[in-house]
Amino acid sequence: MREEIVSDYSWEISYLRSIIAKHPDKYSWIKDVGIIEDLLFLGIFYRKVVSPLLGTRDFTRYAMKNGVSQVQIGRLKVDAVKLRHLYTLDKDFQELLRKFNIPLTLLNYSSVEGFLGSLREHWDNHEYTKSE
């Protein structure tokens, strides 16, 4: 999993830098590429780690409501204790997004260009970009 995340991140960062270099006028609104890189990483982490675990949580909750005491998905065995951990993961992740005003929809991108378009729209609608 780690290698897949690192590989995806490396590719997206390389692609991000190349499209910014090819279209400087279109992406002139980007003042700090580091922030964009961090958000891309957060999106990869959400799609590769958080989202599948939340799916596991939802499936396990459904199974437990129907009398199953433990669910095994791959090598992961989820019982009531691990289910509580998954709820905590969701709560903590949502709190992180709220703290930094990051909409979850921003992290569910299918292309770097789509991500940048959504980010631009989000930033244009919030005060922290209007101070320049």
Q: Which pLDDT value is given to residue 79?
A: 86
- Per-residue pLDDT of 44-97, as tens digits, reads 999 999 998 898 899 989 998 999 888 888 888 888 898 899 999 999 999 999
pTM over 0.85: no
**Angle at alpha carbon of residue 16, lines to 13 and 19, rounded to 5°:** 150
Question: Is there a contact between 105 and 125 (Cβ–Cβ < 8 Å)?
Answer: no
- Per-residue pLDDT of 24-50, as tens digits, reads 999 999 989 999 999 999 999 999 999
